[in-house]
Amino acid sequence: MLIGHFTEQPYQDADLKMNPSNMIGTSNAFYKPAIGAQLYNRYLDEKIYAEEVGFEGLMMNEHHDLPACMQSVTNVALTILARQTRKAKLIMLGNVLPLWDDPLWLAEHLAMVDMISGGRLVSGIVRGAGTESLAHNANTTYNRERFNEAHDFIVKTWTTPGPFRWEGKHLQFRYVNPWCLPLQKPHPPIWVPGLSSPETVKWCAEHHYPYVMLATLLEPTKEMFQLYDQHAAEVGYKSGTQHHGYLFKVHVDDTEQQAEEAGRRFLSGVFNPFIAQGNETAISPHLFLPPGYSSRASVARLQKLFVDQQGRSTITPSYEDAEKHYSIISGTPKAVMPKVKHVLEYLRPGTVFFWDGDGSMTHEDQVRSMRLYGQELIPAVKELAKELDLKSPFETNDGTGITPEVWAKAKGAAEG
């Protein structure tokens, strides 16, 4: 099993005045660069410390125009970590491909990260939420088409000697011959994170790419993993734990009182960009899921994932409801481990990311937790993973590269 660390890296400022109806409409007039500078360095320090205590993967993500996530140009932090860390995989989940009019630049940047890090990059790719397209003026109707073509173009750029010409529907390049190629061959592993899209899960299965579910409820998560396995069988191979990843919120602390206090801070402040709770604001549905962005099947899945039978949101529930549904696990290592065991036994992921240090949690909250992770939780989870035979892509050498079919598709698109 690969065990990773994640924090959304929110902007924290008690003076922030949120737009009462739409988080993405919160004016950056309230943004204080001095606070932002302190937070960026704090989050980098925490990522470096995460490696020191034993986390094997450092997960980064990308959002735009949202106080809940400061990582809009996350490849900058990724580059810093490539030089400042030594062992942990740098797992980018992920770059928003449909926003890139010049994915050749992205391919070059990621190749540099892979080389500087000594071949530790995992190049995650995403379609992004509808808000990302709004922030960068991208047509959501072509989101999936642009995602697919950018993926094929980057794969070909990394794996086919240049110069070559690319004439696609959305991308045209007369000359592709970058003097900057990844250290890993045939290219860095490609993983895809997501929430509920059946189309994306099937696409991942076709490409043998691991799929990482992002803090979703257990039952719908298991259903999506089963969909992956079913489609993998249909295209001719048997998938396994190496193709399943899961992110979930887990905080450990010295005492139960400290754990509850920090856990409640986890679910407060600028926490979630999508659904309102208390004094928080939400992104309007037409901005999160604009016309043309998602299929009806995906929208139905989202509703099932994030609305319970009583019609209440399960993204930002009360602390008590979150604990009940394993949406947050907080306690001493001894109290937390049985709950973590239940999640791993039920979902059987080969890769897990522990989401911690978010909301209005302090640096001290995060450091205490990571110290206990290193001393107690990570070793216990590793032992459990052995008992359950939960293997990551790096232990099976499967699901991390690309298939001949993808090469053929990319070559065919280039040759027209």
Distance CA 288, CA 132 (A): 9
Residue type, 400: T
Give the structural domain span for 49: 2-415
Closest among 91, 52, 43, 112 to 356, alpha carbons compared: 43
Q: Which residues pair with 95 in a beta bridge?
A: 125
DSSP single-letter state for residue 107: H
**Contacts of residue 221, Cβ cutoff 8 Å, sequence gap at least 6:** 213, 246, 347
DSSP single-letter state for residue 239: -
Q: Given this model, what pLDDT does residue 345 score?
A: 98
Distance CA 60, CA 89 (A): 11
Distance CA 6, CA 352 (A): 10
Q: Given this model, what pLDDT does residue 309 score?
A: 55
B/e letters for 257-276, b = 16+ CB within 10 Å, e = fewer, are ebbbebbbbbbbbbbbbbbb
Q: Given this model, what pLDDT does residue 27 score?
A: 84
Q: What is the CATH number of the domain that holds 304?
A: 3.20.20.30
Q: For residue 241, how many other CB atoms are within 10 A of its CB?
A: 25
Q: Given this model, what pLDDT does residue 51 score?
A: 98
Q: Given this model, what pLDDT does residue 404 score?
A: 46
Whether the model clears a pTM of 0.85, i.e. scores above it, the answer is yes
Give alpha helix (H) positions in 85-182.
103-116, 130-135, 143-159
The count of domains in the chain is 1
Q: Given this model, what pLDDT does residue 275 score?
A: 39
Q: Which residues pair with 250 in a beta bridge?
A: 329
Six token digits for residue 135? 């922030």
User: What stretches in the chain show pLDDT beneath 70?
Assistant: 18-24, 130, 269-317, 398-416
Distance CA 327, CA 308 (A): 13
Distance CA 14, CA 351 (A): 35
> What distance lies between CA 74 and its chain's CA centroid?
12
> Could you tell me whether strands 172-176 and 164-167 are parallel, antiparallel, or unpaired per DSSP bridges?
antiparallel
Q: Given this model, what pLDDT does residue 26 score?
A: 78
- CA torsion sign for 116, 127, 322, 247 is negative
Give alpha helix (H) positions in 235-314.
256-266, 285-288, 296-306
> Could you tell me whether strands 211-214 and 192-194 are parallel, antiparallel, or unpaired per DSSP bridges?
parallel
